[in-house]
Structure 1
Amino acid sequence: MLRVLRLVLAIAISAAAALGVVRLVTPADGDSGVRRQLAFLRHELESGAAEDAQRLFPEGYFFLYALYGLTAVDASRLDDARWALSRLESDAGRAPFAGDMPLRYGVFYRGWVNWLRGGIASLSRDPADLRALQEDSAAIAAAFDASPTPYLTSYPGQAWPVDSTVAIASLRLHDKVLTPAYDVTVIRWLANVQARLDPATQLMPHIVDADTGSPTSGAQGTSQSLINRFLPEIDADFARQQYTRFRTWFLAAPLGLGPTVREYPVGVDGPANVDSGPLVLGTSLSATVVTIAAARLNGDPSLARGLAQFGEVAGLPVSTPWSKRYAFGAAPIGDAFLAWSKTARPWVAAPPQPASRVLSRWWQLPLLTLFVAVGLTPWLIGAARRRHRPASQG
């Protein structure tokens, strides 16, 4: 019986290692996988996943519906996108953003909603959708024009540059879908941003003083990954500069395993937070996932593919013919970010040309070596045991 158990365990370990090899070298599934992810997410949303996520962090409800809707736009599923937008515009969707701010509900809420609204309007061309996009964009632009800083508040007295970046991108989307109106607003915003970069990295900071827009913390991976997804929609030259610096300061392969994205710049350590999730050797899972989208928008397909393939290994996906979930479906918000990142495409900018930056094709070698070693170990141990077994035991 003991020999049978050892055999079964050896087969299981080798099979798991072989599966890791297959997932590592096989390109991550595209549209079919995302469709199955959307099926899983729709079921989870209808079962209360957004309300559960809200209990974990302040934007949990909002992000689950927003990312579902944005992915639906990328997949040309207009009805699903409208369904998600209706949830964001409900009392539950607005509840966390009810404080007194110059822009009602704050720039986080208004920017993401306007970006989704613009995506829906670009698909539908429905007069009501276009009118709502026009009205919301006018309110957002007026708030930026009246602000002494480029960063509007998301909550009373609190400002994050990434949130204003999304809102400015939504103005660019307005100008593509409707008559251009906000070029001056965007140009002024860019100039003010460039005057307030993080001194250490010359990247946009993570948090700023709400009154002056001056950095109060350096750049961090969770916000940088999102910023670099949206900057190409705003200004190609500034996006190129920022993405190059982001790649230099945040791309890493701890223990030779990667690629991954750090939460703090290379050489800097810091605590985990609700956005980054637990940090493993300085790496943020959420920043790593969203950087797939940033790489796709910045003409870095080799990094986008590498991150997606690494996610197929580290994310422990479970697939059926009808659905797909990661981490056994334990955290639908992670599935939502991954689905959105894997479908990311320009809504405003021209399709990016592949850049000269290329992820080394050898990045898989350490993981392949690890999987092969793990897969062979049970059999090598068994062979060694047989070799040293006393002759009398046959």
Structure 2
Amino acid sequence: MKTKLIIFTMALMTGVLTSCVDTELCPEPADQHPHLASVSYGFDWSKTQDNPKNLPDSMYVVAYRVINQWKSSVMVNCLGPKNKPAQGKYINNVVVEPTVYPGQTKTDTIEYFKVKSGEYKFLCFNGSNEEIDYTSVDKFIYQKDVDMHDLYFNFKTYEKESPKLNRIIPKWTDYNNYTGYMQPAVRAVYYDTLTVRSLVANRTYHEVFTHPKRLTQRLTFEFDIQKDLSGGLFTVDSVFAEVSGIPFSVNLSNGYIDITKTSRMMFRAKLVVGANKDSLDNDNNKKVHCTAMIDVPTLISSEYDDVYQGPGIMQIMVCCSVKDPADPTNRPPKKFQGLINLYHTIQNAKLVTYTLDRQHVKKAKDYATLSIDADMVVNGASILKSNDENDGLDSWVPKGGVIIDL
């Protein structure tokens, strides 16, 4: 009888010692759980070089427990002081529902987030961005077989006729209809990671992302329009462009950019006229300098310098108004299009390095200027074809007839 009592007592003690190894087995109320830690987040943007600034207003933070794997995510504001807990809300895998006091709703922001205790790696990237596809992130959070090495950041893409696409080019004839579009003027994307650290139960931690890095490249396009006034006076009123060869999927663990699928983007160029950088052209001016800035994962060239379909092609629409010699008050508007293969321009910019499989690249720099050396010559009615013997330079090619708005 004494032997049986000892065995029963040992079994009971074993059950008590093991019952709280995993949080799901503990009987305590969730808000008093002994295996939870509290964590808040802050962000240090002092090392960010962007000028002008293009920072996100919120960041999506993933907490990844590497041993006894568990993952959760929150969305927090990111522009406040780095040492002050950023306000936000739970997104995925809420371990404890936040307390809702009278007059509050479940959408009210909080500063401290509950996570299971353990060894954690933290990752953050742009949040609250309608142009980001979070499908792969949700898959990473909820599927245990998806490792951080398989976590991709994806931009949404749209067909040309989609009502969700913010089209900025009017009456556009597409001469490179091979893929969909990213939205114009996509915001720069930043990400950061924190090395593995231990979160002990019943303690509070403030984790600061000290050096958010650019996931996207800031690309600046520059080119000149030379005005041929021999046939009459005219002004360049606006210039619109579209560039192809923009990848939209980036691996967050290693920075590899998938180039097996690319997209396009429309944008409007800024016009710089004269030494005083006046943005308005005049009839007698002979040159207009055009610049445009976009934030994208990177830009991929065509495999060849003499094709005008596929990646690495820029299409352009020049909008002019022509002086009517018979009636100076009448200035009929005209629009005409052209395109250029940016093979040499992209190659010279050295934007990326290729992986061995040639299906991925890593960006080689955060900022780059793509100067198109070949001048575009316009005469108020069309773009004039560049010299065929323009060795080593990309060449402008006119497309379509002139469009006159009535």
Q: TM-score, with normalisation over the residues of structure 1?
A: 0.24
Quick check: which has more Rg, 1 or 2? 2
Q: RCO (CA 8 Å, sep 6+): is it higher in 1 or 2?
A: 1
Higher helix share: 1
Q: TM-score, with normalisation over the residues of structure 2?
A: 0.23
Higher strand share: 2
